[in-house]
């Protein structure tokens, strides 16, 4: 049935951008790429909670990185930004927006979170962030700049949250390059939109499969989405347990390991334009996928007890809502 579904949706899979080759690296990036990492990162738990931390003030509770709730195992710092060089990214702490929070304080908080067993990664993209990796040169620029940020701030890895298309050939090349330099403990996450993971022929899905050897988890965004096909060929609307489980099934049956699949949802109704579900619905979906219990009308043909966990946008919106999401879903994930 899955093959039929994948064929049916292939026509709507995003084509992506044309992409990249490798070349010149500026001196500062080259120096950063050769600098030693400060400390060995902690392993990501078998069942992990991922949360995005906002490096800006958009009305949600303003947090320092140190304020991020303890339930989160992977903290994705949102966001790195594109420079004028294709593929290259940069990051600066928004001190003005965060009440005078400094880069040195941020770096100290990164180290403290890691000492507590957390992974802190830099997220690339977001709703308005466009980073184009179109050829070997831009793939090189991406890899060099991301690794440079890992060296400068102590990040454990990178999150790919590109919502304006990507090219699987060159993005995969760039990510493998970063991983080779980062070595053991490198954390790679992705946050595609629902349309990006409907078919294995889509560029995002192809990227995930191409880097499966270094991929930690894909936390698809089950929000700001229209209705989508589930792996049984039926159409499901966002905001239900069936939407979460039937779309996760496509990834699970399409080649990703259960440990590489997570459920991404807003922490509150204010965190996204649509698609918010109560934490209890997320917990039901986790139970359905891992144990075959608490399912809706869709029940997967098998269970996936190794499912990685869940993700939310954002730790800030979670704090705004009194930490209800992380208290409930975090405890459930860690109890799987």
> Catalytic amino acids?
163
CB 82 within 8 A of CB 131: yes
- Tokens 């830099």, located at residue: 122
- Which segments within the chain are labelled E, that is strand? 48-54, 74-82, 89-90, 119-126, 157-162, 187-190, 217-221, 228-229, 235-236, 261-266, 309-313
DSSP 289-306: HHHS-S--S---SS--TT
* H or E, element range at 246: helix 241-253
3-state secondary structure of 192: coil
CA distances from 203 to 18, 89, 99 (A): 11, 21, 39
Count, residues in the chain = 336
Picking from 235, 216, 132, the residue whose alpha carbon sits closest to that of residue 174 is 132
Two tokens at 149?
């940020």
Beta strands in 211-275 (DSSP E): 217-221, 228-229, 235-236, 261-266
What residues contact residue 290 under an 8 Å CB cut-off, 6+ apart? 303, 304, 305, 306, 307, 336
Q: What is the largest CA-CA distance in the chain?
A: 57
CB 175 within 8 A of CB 22: no
């Amino acid at each position: 049935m899955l093959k039929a579904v994948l064929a049916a949706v292939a026509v709507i899979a995003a084509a992506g951008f044309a992409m990249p080759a490798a070349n010149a690296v500026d001196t500062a990036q080259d120096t950063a790429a050769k600098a030693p990492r400060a400390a060995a990162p902690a392993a990501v738990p078998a069942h992990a909670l991922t949360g995005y931390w906002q490096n800006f003030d958009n009305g949600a509770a303003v947090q320092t990185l140190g304020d991020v709730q303890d339930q989160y195992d992977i903290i994705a710092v949102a966001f790195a930004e594109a420079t004028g060089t294709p593929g290259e990214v940069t990051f600066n702490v928004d001190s003005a927006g965060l009440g005078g929070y400094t880069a040195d304080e941020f770096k100290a908080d990164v180290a403290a979170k890691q000492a507590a067993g957390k992974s802190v990664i830099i997220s690339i993209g977001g709703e308005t962030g466009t980073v184009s990796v179109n050829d070997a040169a831009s793939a090189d620029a991406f890899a060099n700049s991301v690794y440079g940020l890992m060296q400068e701030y102590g990040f454990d890895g990178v999150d790919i949250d590109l919502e304006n298309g990507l090219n699987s050939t060159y993005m995969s090349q760039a990510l493998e390059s970063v991983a080779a330099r980062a070595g053991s403990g490198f954390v790679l996450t992705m946050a595609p939109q629902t349309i990006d993971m409907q078919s294995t022929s889509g560029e995002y899905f192809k990227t995930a499969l191409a880097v499966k050897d270094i991929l930690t988890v894909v936390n698809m965004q089950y929000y700001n989405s229209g209705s989508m096909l589930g792996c049984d060929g039926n159409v499901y609307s966002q905001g239900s347990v069936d939407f979460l489980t039937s779309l996760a099934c496509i990834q699970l049956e399409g080649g990703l390991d259960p440990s590489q699949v997570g459920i991404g949802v807003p922490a509150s109704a204010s965190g996204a334009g649509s698609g918010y579900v109560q934490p209890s619905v997320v917990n039901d979906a986790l139970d359905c996928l891992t144990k075959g219990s608490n399912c809706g009308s869709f029940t997967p043909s098998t269970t996936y007890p190794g499912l990685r966990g869940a993700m939310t946008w954002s730790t800030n919106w979670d704090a705004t809502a009194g930490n209800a999401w992380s208290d409930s879903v975090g405890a459930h994930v860690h109890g799987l």
